[in-house]
Structure 1
Amino acid sequence: MVRIHEFVDEGLGHSSYVIDLADGTGAVIDPPRFPISQEALAEREHLELRWTIDTHSHADYVTGSPALGARAHATFVAPGASRLETPHRAVSDGERVALSASVAIVAIATPGHTPDHHAYLLEEDGRPVGLFTGGSLMVGTVGRTDLCGPELAVPLAHEMFRSLRRFDDLPDELTVYPTHGAGSFCSAPGAAERISTLGRERRTNPLLLEPSEDAFVEHLVAGFGTFPSYFARLPELNRRGPRRYDSLPVLDRLGADEIEAKIAAGAQVVDVRPFVAFGAGHIAGSLSNTLRPVFASWLGWLVDPERPLVFVLGDDQDRGELVRRCLDIGHERLVGELDGGIDAWTASGRGLATIPVVDIAGLVPPVLDVRQANEYAAGHVPGAINVEVAAVPGAAGALPAGALTVMCGHGERAMTAASLLVAGGNHQV
């Protein structure tokens, strides 16, 4: 009997899956760029990964399928409509791919989230045992349809409605394994759970309960918020084929003089320490972006991928995680880190900039709330101005002159916005 193992990246809201085909071989669905955990499982379970399968052209992360296929000598399966330039087996609607003597997948063309999207029905001995829905059907919602451009949001929403009807003949008890879920900017607002059944979704998914195609489309497009700007470039990067790494690169350690020279040459300093530490002292002009699960989304949203990056880390922070999260979204120009951390900067005789951190009792108007619009609408400090973090640089000139108090839900985004404002030279925060 096949076994399915789920791997979740909470920061990107992404799930990938390893299918144990019960014959010593396995398949991976929608692997991340560095499928470290997936390959570790295969090694523990003595699985030879013979297949790597993508459901669509991903916008939120760099696919790991081309590199995994080359490294493991696995067949890379992808929708023919993706028009990939890397070696792969292109499949079309209704095509059946035998993964082993008893297990197969059947491609189901499900355009909507993207024009090239496929779901894959998993069969064992001819019986349906799972449905990998990618960015189509998710738990409590469906994939958003505006990532390919606002002009396609409504046409693709109609396609999504018709695509979901293709699951109508499948049994209620069939387990649904989406790629996107809670925390993903690729999904419309949905539930926290990541795996469901068709029956549960038919009974409880608000979009599936809409009485007509027009009502479905209106409901779906009304729920879209903003999404990271880097989503616009990754589909093409994935289509051409991302750069492959034999192993995770290691950051060069640079002295204060070298860091200063890199800054003068145009590098961006990204300080990944906790926001309180950043506020207490940082290199002037640094971007605060605390290393945490959502680090990559904000980096990709705020920093040009062509700009060289230098980093300031705390002693106990994971360098490998930092590098992986940058490369997951296609930021390749990682110049190095400040050797010795922020203490090395001060030891060289250089000064630090500061941003005060206050608690809720210390809020002084005007207040800038940098949460997402839906968060602000759910409740906010009276009189607070709402500008989402990514929009802060463009809105800086329209903000009240003088000092600002910047806030969010926990502190990280507020410090990111504050660092952007201070670096722009327009505000005291």
Structure 2
Amino acid sequence: MDVEVLVTPGLGDNSYLVSSGGEAVLIDPQRDVERFLTAAASKSVVIREVLETHVHNDYVSGALEIRAATGADLAGPAGGRYEFPIRGLSDGDDVKVGDLRLVAMETPGHTPEHLSYLVFEDAADTPAAVFTGGSLMVGGAGRTDLLGAGLADELARAQYRTLHRLAHLPDEVEVYPTHGAGSFCGTGPAPRERTSTIGTERRLNRALAAGSEDAFVRQQLSDLMAYPAYYRHMAPINRSGPGLVSAIQPPRPLSPDQVARLRDGGAWVVDGRWRVPFARAHIPGSINVELDDTFGSYVGWVMPFAAPLLMVLPDPVDESLGEATTQLLRVGYERVEGYLAGGIGAWRDSGRPVASYRVAGLEELCRARRAGRVAHLLDVRQEVEWDRGRIPNSTHVFVGDLPDRLGDVPRDGEVWTICATGHRAALASSLLDRDGIAVRLVEGTGVDDFLRQCSDPL
């Protein structure tokens, strides 16, 4: 058995290409499938099966894309209520690929229909590995609140029973979860390791250390991070069957006139440049989501789902276009109308106005606070971060909640925005600027640095 882990860093997810005897099964693929096809070709294997562990809440599945490209069969939880042809699997059902037999194991908790897959080599009676999806994760367990508070307790109790069923597997069984470090589908901090073994998890996993079911439920449902707003759209899309990427119009280069016309008609402008150049000059009303691994997630947090988008891209444009488009398609944003050809320079050269706001570093913030010149300091970190430590007399609105809470932000003075590094504060600053609020971005530093280094008379 050969297992290749294909990580999607911005989502914190793993997909798996499992090969044997010239055949392969692909487990939990995302929508950008070329990398999976390339991996299979490099191993000279044919993808025969695609397996889903659950109806995903954090990305658009690539199962139908793989079937269109390879003719592979699809299988997933019988309880998934899929609306397209797929083999429904229940506890004990199996799929054979090469010399491998993958046996479904019902592991509800992260979602009600969740399956894990035990992998048996040749005629072995003991599994060599288990693909655990969003049940047992490295160091923790998949969260159980993504389908709403009404199901969270029931699913947490199911997750407790699932984890202890998995923990009875032999120590040497390899553990291959779908969710890992960087995923909002887990609870609490996750280690950097993407895979593990049952023995290691039995010794070190905090979810397995809970002393009782009730203790586990309390732990599972406490101190949770907020998750992106786009999540609520993923399960319906994955259940009904997403359209093929080939049918989606790719983004096209647009002139400043075209961008202005589309923006004025209701399209959102997302600018992927670094925060400081954006602050110095940007299209009025545009939103600054830096083009890093988390770009798609933060677009999906603050921009209306299925809204038409326009992009301003950092150099090199061709590379940025591919990365931005891929991330947006992964999370279901298909109406990317185009990008500004020539960037902000072309916009300026067309005679159109640009907007800007001020930027400050740690020392400037410290001096301004001591002098009483910071009218309002807005902390846009997650609530669990805020609870761990905050700057006195600052206010808190998580950046993901800001579009719906702009009315809570004071308008009688400049608002300084701060987070942990400047990344989320930059996004928040652009949202405030778009709404006509005077703003100053605190960049390259954050709350923890301030608390360590600034003596604050307040």
**TM-score for both structures, normalised by structure 2:** 0.90
1:123-134 paired onto structure 2 within 5 Å: 123-125=120-122, 126=124, 127-134=126-133
Give the letter aligned to residue 303 of structure 2.
V
CA drift of 1:204 comes to 1.1
State the 4+ residue runs in structure 1 displaced beyond 6 angstroms. none
**Matched residue of 1:422: which SS?**
helix
Give the root-mean-square deviation of aligned CA atoms: 1.5
Task: Tell me which moved more, 403-412 or 282-291.
Answer: 403-412
1:336-375 paired onto structure 2 within 5 Å: 336-363=338-365, 364=368, 365=374, 366-375=376-385
CA drift of 1:249 comes to 5.6
State the match for 2:289 in structure 1.
289
2:115 maps to 1:108: no
Give the letter aligned to residue 5 of structure 2.
E
* In 1, Cα distance between equivalents of 2:167 and 2:180: 22
CA drift of 1:426 comes to 3.5
* In 1, Cα distance between equivalents of 2:248 and 2:8: 17
2:225 maps to 1:215: no
* In 2, Cα distance between equivalents of 1:428 and 1:245: 39
* In 2, Cα distance between equivalents of 1:70 and 1:42: 15
CA drift of 1:168 comes to 3.8
Q: Is the 8 A contact 2:94 2:104 kept in 1?
A: yes
**Matched residue of 2:104: which SS?**
strand
State the match for 1:412 in structure 2.
423
Deviations 1:119-158 (A, max 9, x none): 1111102241111000000011100000001111111000
* In 2, Cα distance between equivalents of 1:339 and 1:291: 17
2:250 maps to 1:253: no
* In 2, Cα distance between equivalents of 1:361 and 1:82: 54
CA drift of 1:357 comes to 1.4
State the match for 2:186 in structure 1.
187
State the match for 2:119 in structure 1.
122
**TM-score for both structures, normalised by structure 1:** 0.96
* In 1, Cα distance between equivalents of 2:45 and 2:357: 51
Give the letter aligned to residue 109 of structure 1.
E
CA drift of 1:191 comes to 2.2
Q: Is the 8 A contact 1:396 1:426 kept in 2?
A: no
* In 2, Cα distance between equivalents of 1:314 and 1:219: 42
* In 2, Cα distance between equivalents of 1:93 and 1:52: 17
* In 2, Cα distance between equivalents of 1:302 and 1:144: 22
Give the letter aligned to residue 81 of structure 2.
R
1:215-254 paired onto structure 2 within 5 Å: 215-246=215-246, 250-254=250-254
Identity across aligned pairs (percent)?
40
Deviations 1:298-321 (A, max 9, x none): 111111123110111123142111
Give the letter aligned to residue 404 of structure 2.
G
Deviations 1:340-362 (A, max 9, x none): 11100001011110121110111
**What is the total number of aligned residue pairs between the two structures?**
426
State the match for 2:25 in structure 1.
27
**Matched residue of 2:434: which SS?**
helix
* In 2, Cα distance between equivalents of 1:168 and 1:259: 55
Q: Is the 8 A contact 1:250 1:320 kept in 2?
A: no
State the match for 2:446 in structure 1.
none
* In 2, Cα distance between equivalents of 1:393 and 1:246: 32
* In 2, Cα distance between equivalents of 1:362 and 1:311: 32
2:394 maps to 1:392: no
Task: Tell me which moved more, 167-176 or 394-403.
Answer: 394-403
* In 1, Cα distance between equivalents of 2:248 and 2:9: 20
State the match for 2:455 in structure 1.
none
1:165-184 paired onto structure 2 within 5 Å: 165-184=164-183
Task: Give the unaligned 5+ runs of structure 1.
Answer: none
Give the letter aligned to residue 130 of structure 2.
L
State the match for 2:40 in structure 1.
42
Task: Tell me which moved more, 387-396 or 410-419.
Answer: 387-396
2:407 maps to 1:376: no
Task: Tell me which moved more, 139-148 or 367-376.
Answer: 367-376
* In 1, Cα distance between equivalents of 2:248 and 2:292: 18
**Matched residue of 1:42: which SS?**
helix
Q: Is the 8 A contact 2:302 2:403 kept in 1?
A: no
Q: Is the 8 A contact 2:414 2:437 kept in 1?
A: no
CA drift of 1:398 comes to 2.4
Deviations 1:199-258 (A, max 9, x none): 111111112011111111111111322111111111010000001023886421111111
State the match for 2:50 in structure 1.
52
Deviations 1:406-426 (A, max 9, x none): 011222211110111111123
State the match for 1:87 in structure 2.
85
State the match for 1:62 in structure 2.
60
CA drift of 1:324 comes to 0.6
* In 1, Cα distance between equivalents of 2:172 and 2:249: 44
Q: Is the 8 A contact 1:94 1:106 kept in 2?
A: yes
Give the letter aligned to residue 326 of structure 1.
L
Task: Tell me which moved more, 197-206 or 241-250.
Answer: 241-250
State the match for 1:203 in structure 2.
203
Task: Tell me which moved more, 82-91 or 259-268.
Answer: 82-91
* In 2, Cα distance between equivalents of 1:98 and 1:223: 41
* In 1, Cα distance between equivalents of 2:133 and 2:247: 27
CA drift of 1:170 comes to 1.1
Give the letter aligned to residue 383 of structure 2.
A
Q: Is the 8 A contact 2:140 2:206 kept in 1?
A: yes
Q: Is the 8 A contact 2:268 2:310 kept in 1?
A: yes
